[in-house]
Amino acid sequence: MRTKVIAGNWKMNNTPAEGAELINNIKAAADAAKCEVVVCAPFIALPAAVNAAKGSRIGVAAQNLHFEDKGAFTGEVSADMLNAAGVKYVVIGHSERREYFAETDETVNKKTIKALEKGITPIVCCGETLEQRENGITFDWISMQIKLAMKNITAADAVKVIIAYEPIWAIGTGKTATDEQANEVCAAIRKSLAAIYDETTAQNIRILYGGSMNAKNAEGLLAQPDIDGGLIGGASLKADDFNTIIKFAL
């Protein structure tokens, strides 16, 4: 059985004090949960988040990292810095990073390799636009993203990676893939992983759904056989909603 993961991506929200308050309000649900619970905080809020999460089952993720250890990369943060801050996970290749900040499949791969090298669990994002879905290339597009993201990563390391499928057309739009649509793509991702590695490896890699999961639709999505959790956006900023989603991750 794959342990489900419920990860809250705060994006550019929550000051250190606000983040700590939110964590305190989800601790009880996280500690009672059967799933892993992760909060993905902005860089400035990471130390406060790690401190607030101490003694609980909540893990803390960064929303990005650089693939070099150090250097003239103004505004970037290294894996060693994240480790020093006590961060255990990192989101890589989110669609917003790809769209607004020139993230590419090549940099996603480099960052994934670096995170694994430094003992940080990468949450690697993939997904299609509405135009790509309407043109019938969803599976080909995402298969390519997965192949490029996992390039030069061994099977032993691949099982440490968490994949997050985020249909770009469903992020922040209020639209959500149906339970069956979401599971169909997650199953296709697992099939791509089996082709890269083998069936056993693919069955041990966790695949999350990241397209506007919320307290109302989470139960159905999380009941799907190939959906191993969620990368939650707006609903992760509301403790009551996030706690509800956690309870559905059996």
DSSP string, 175-207: ----HHHHHHHHHHHHHHHHHHS-HHHHHTSEE
Longest dimension (CA), the chain: 48
* pLDDT score, position 177: 80
Percent of the chain with pLDDT over 70: 98
Confidence band of 45 (pLDDT split at 50, 70, 90): very high
Question: CA–CA separation, 113 vs 152, rounded Å?
Answer: 8
Tell me the mean pLDDT in the region 41-67.
98
Question: CA–CA separation, 154 vs 133, rounded Å?
Answer: 30
Question: CA–CA separation, 202 vs 195, rounded Å?
Answer: 9
Q: What is the pLDDT of residues 149-198, one digit of tens each?
A: 999 999 999 999 999 999 988 776 767 689 999 999 999 999 999 999 99
CA 95 vs. chain centroid, Å, equals 11
Q: What is the mean pLDDT of the chain?
A: 96
Q: What is the pLDDT of residues 117-155, one digit of tens each?
A: 999 999 999 999 888 988 999 999 999 999 999 999 999
Residue (of 8, 58, 54) closest to 32 by Cα position: 58
9 burial (CB, 10 Å; 0-12 / 13-18 / 19+) is buried
pTM: 0.96
Helix (H, G, I), strand (E, B) or coil at 75: coil
Question: CA–CA separation, 15 vs 20, rounded Å?
Answer: 9
* pLDDT score, position 171: 73
Half-sphere exposure in the Cβ direction for 55 (13 Å, CA): 4
Question: CA–CA separation, 51 vs 47, rounded Å?
Answer: 6
Q: Looking at residue 62, which CATH number applies to its domain?
A: 3.20.20.70
Q: What is the pLDDT of residues 21-41, one digit of tens each?
A: 999 999 999 999 999 999 999
Would the pLDDT of 203 be above 80?
Answer: yes
Q: What is the pLDDT of residues 66-81, one digit of tens each?
A: 999 999 999 999 999 9
Percent of the chain with pLDDT over 90: 92
* pLDDT score, position 211: 83
Task: State which residues form the domain around 52.
Answer: 5-248
Question: CA–CA separation, 139 vs 35, rounded Å?
Answer: 28
* pLDDT score, position 226: 97
Write the single-letter amino acid at 186: C
* pLDDT score, position 194: 98
Cβ partners under 8 Å of residue 41, min gap 6: 10, 14, 19, 48, 49, 60, 61, 62, 63
Question: CA–CA separation, 88 vs 120, rounded Å?
Answer: 5
Tell me the mean pLDDT in the region 6-13.
98
Q: What is the pLDDT of residues 86-105, one digit of tens each?
A: 999 999 999 999 999 999 99
Total domains, the chain: 1
- How many CB atoms lie under 10 A from the CB of residue 52? 23
Which positions are annotated as active-site residues? 94, 166
Tokens coding 188:
């296709």
